Amino acid sequence: MMLDRLRQAVDAGFAQQTAFLTELVKFPSTRGEEAPLQDWMARQLAARGYSVDRYVLGDLDMSHLPGFSPVLDTDYSRAVQVVGTRRAAAPTGRSLIIQGHVDVVPTGPTALWSAPPFSGDAKGEWLHGRGAGDMKQGVSAMVFALDAIRAAGLELTADIHVQTVTEEECTGNGALSTLARGYRADAVLIPEPTDATITRAHVGVMWFRLRVRGVPVHVARAQAGSNAIMSAYQLILALQRHTEQLNAAARQDPWFGGIPDPLKFNPGVIRGGDWASSTPAWCEVDCRIGLLPGSTLEDARRGVERCVAEAARADGFMANNPPDIIWNGFQADGYVLEPGSDAERVLAEAHQAVFGAPMEERRSTAVNDTRFYGLYHHMPALCYGPRGINVHGFDEAAHLPTLQQVTLAIACFVTEWCGVREVG
């Protein structure tokens, strides 16, 4: 009966939810540009009766907190975070944080998209756009699952915090800030696009910048110079070999042993030189590398530093002009959701009820924000959400039928976890 009441409410609200998601996608909320979306979100939550805490990362000192990632070139005075809270009058159930991120990764060349990436174009079962999948649809599921509970004539008997954060794609400092500000709960749900699976474990991720020098000379005398672009390539090859060794060792890992090459190394951005006819004097490569849960960031950094130092020593120029490594962005631990929590059991039951099949689990070779709650604050932190395709790629899209079901599953989970009572 409860399921039917909630289903009716979710279905009745789904046209509005799709419109809400379209609005969300239309905000070009790439890193540093999320503030207008967050302002809009704060108004949306306030209009629904949430008590809204809107603040910017620049207001907080977090550099001493576990999980903090250093940043370059990002203006935290514009990094708006939003926490909407609905407090139960006389709490009897278990409190919940439900969180989504609104930052999106860059679009890449827009010519390679079928429709403009911030148009919110919908075709049949799919709603396209950068961030439609990862994870603006999840944000719509959070908001509309709770709307459905109200629409079904119910109210929660525990506190709930609805959090939309930034920086998930690069540092996690948005999620960290909600903890720094003091928000806590008995469980956390983050509806990343998991295709209705629960994330059992995710790897850690580190970002770093390689900075290589060269000796610029007129190319007519190229043998007298040193080409920083080619030096950078030597370091990339060395890091690829290093990653192969890490993955060989990862075959013994209890969580990731069964996944081929779970630790990815990615040279993602490169810039170097300024003139075709001069040997380039500098080259910078922004890189990403994974690490296993349970291993330490410190050890992983030392591994990268040793690899780069050895490659540099083997090179005539770099031996005397060692490259720099700048640890900038993600310094993110891996995380394992230990099996057996009540929160997971309640979510699995909600999933079974909606999908008619058991909730499967996945292991993720990328991070998400659950680590802050689970690893540093021992709250069960569930990563479970709808289905997205081409996440971080061209023609990213949200699958609307799955979104509708997951919204219902979340509504069921919340009613069971927090408890509900009939509204007068």
Give contact residues for a copy of itself (rule: CB under 8 A): 105-106, 108-109, 112, 134, 169-170, 205, 207, 213, 215-223, 225, 227, 229-230, 233, 236, 261, 264, 266-283, 285-288, 329-330, 364-366, 390-394
| Minimum CB distance to a copy of itself, residue 294 (Å) | 19
The distance of Cα 334 from the centroid of its chain, to the nearest Å, equals: 13
Q: DSSP character for 85? A: E
Relative to beta strand 187-190, strand 96-101 is: parallel
* CB nearer to a copy of itself: pick between 50 and 207: 207
The β-bridge partners of 122 are: 127
CA nearest 203: which of 105, 339, 305, 295? 295
Phi and psi at residue 371, to the nearest 5°: -60, -35
The distance of Cα 404 from the centroid of its chain, to the nearest Å, equals: 21
| Minimum CB distance to a copy of itself, residue 380 (Å) | 23
* CB nearer to a copy of itself: pick between 94 and 363: 363
Relative to beta strand 160-165, strand 96-101 is: parallel
* CB nearer to a copy of itself: pick between 93 and 193: 193
| Minimum CB distance to a copy of itself, residue 104 (Å) | 10
* CB nearer to a copy of itself: pick between 15 and 276: 276
* CB nearer to a copy of itself: pick between 186 and 261: 261
Cβ atoms of 109 and 120 within 8 Å: the answer is no
| Minimum CB distance to a copy of itself, residue 170 (Å) | 8
* CB nearer to a copy of itself: pick between 323 and 329: 329
| Minimum CB distance to a copy of itself, residue 155 (Å) | 38
Cβ atoms of 327 and 70 within 8 Å: the answer is yes
DSSP for 143-197, please give it.
HHHHHHHHHTTEEESS-EEEEEES-TTTT-HHHHHHHHTT---SEEEE--S-SS-
| Minimum CB distance to a copy of itself, residue 169 (Å) | 7
